[in-house]
Amino acid sequence: MATYIFGHKNPDTDSICSAIAFEHFKTEVGENVKAMRLGEVNKETNYALSYFDVQAPDFLEKVADETEVMLVDHNEFQQSVDNIEHAQILEVIDHHRIANFETSDPVYMRVEPVGCTATIIKDMYDEKNITIPKHIAGMLISAIVSDSLLFKSPTCTNRDIEAAKALAKIAEVDVDTYGLDMLKAGADVSDQPVSAWISGDAKEFMMHGSSVEIGQLNTVDPAEIYKSIDEIKEEIQIIIENKGLSLFLFVVTDILNNDSEVLAIGPAKDNVEAAFDVTLSSDDRAVLKGVVSRKKQVVPNLTRAFES
Ligand SMILES: [Mn+2]
């Protein structure tokens, strides 16, 4: 049976496109692998898939015991496939913190502090002198544009920019034009229900023994999103009760101005004030100037606030 390759639940463009690219890379080196997805493909990713005429991977809900898997773009078990604890994890290619991860057997891990998993995979192609076909270059550059918010996120490194430059030539796109079109396609959420805004990109974290969920929504107009604040709050309250969360932080990121407007709900919402040195408004919102990265800005600051 083929080894499954997948990114995290609520997959973003990096999780889908890196799984597709890593499937191609592994197939080129003679391994039997299959890219999968752990959730719905979002609109931004769909834009990339249709632009480069690539099929979305099949959906995988849970794995049987001892299933051989490779993780891309994540390692924390609560973000992974159901029953990951009993799977055989062969490899991890990632660019996130290591947490809630354990194996009984040796594992190949390649975790680097770059802006995108796709940047690491691009380097793996180069190291093995494997030619990157146009559609795979398209997948990789889409992931880099997405994770780096077109190179404006503080997570973006020179290696991501260099990789994107090389990939743009192979993919035959102007990265600024293509990238903005792709981000805008993802930021158009007008036809989605409020529940999709909140949960579409949500990730769970353990912070000093507390369960915290952080959802992020990219938009060109945060005010438009917060017109539905009553409905947003109701939906979040249900999630908090169902999962016993200490905090749900909804991060609405303005992709044109590179700020975020957050909504903090739950018994530990005071930690948001401490983490970002802000005061929540009467409806539990605050503007975080220059904050666009959940991984590099939101999670570390919030984790420290929970620990102190
Ligand atoms: Mn990523």
pLDDT at 191: 87
pLDDT at 220: 86
Q: Where are the domains of the chain?
A: 3-185, 194-307
Residue 230 alpha carbon to ligand 1 centre in Å: 31
Q: Nearest CA to 173 among 146, 134, 126?
A: 134
pLDDT tens digits, 126-175: 999 999 999 999 999 999 999 999 999 999 999 999 999 999 999 999 99
pLDDT(31) > 90 = yes
pLDDT(190) > 90 = no
Quickly list DSSP for 148-213: HTTTTSTT--HHHHHHHHHHHHHHT--HHHHHHHHHHHHH--TTS-HHHHHHTT-EEEEETTEEEE
Band (189; pLDDT cuts 50, 70, 90): confident
CATH 3.40.50.300 is right for the domain spanning 3-185: no
Mean per-residue pLDDT, 8-12: 95
Q: Nearest CA to 157 among 78, 245, 102, 95?
A: 95
pLDDT at 150: 94
Residue 176 alpha carbon to ligand 1 centre in Å: 19
Band (256; pLDDT cuts 50, 70, 90): confident
pLDDT at 259: 94
Q: Three-state DSSP class for 133?
A: coil
Residue 272 alpha carbon to ligand 1 centre in Å: 24
Interaxial angle between packed helices 117-127 and 134-148, expressed in degrees from 0 to 180 and rounded to the nearest 10? 140
Considering the entire predicted model, what is its pTM?
Answer: 0.85
Mean per-residue pLDDT, 224-248: 97
Q: Is residue 35 within 8 Å of residue 19, measured between CB atoms? A: yes
pLDDT at 280: 97
Residue 95 alpha carbon to ligand 1 centre in Å: 7
Residue 73 alpha carbon to ligand 1 centre in Å: 5
- Sign for the CA dihedral angle at 73, 75, 76, 78 comes to positive
Which tops the pLDDT comparison, 105 or 189?
A: 105
Looking only at Cα atoms, what is the longest distance across the chain? 58
Band (198; pLDDT cuts 50, 70, 90): very high
CA 3/CA 88 separation, integer angstroms: 10
Q: Nearest CA to 9 among 75, 82, 79, 89?
A: 79
Band (105; pLDDT cuts 50, 70, 90): very high
**What is the dotted CATH code of the domain comprising 194-307?**
3.10.310.20
Residue 282 alpha carbon to ligand 1 centre in Å: 34
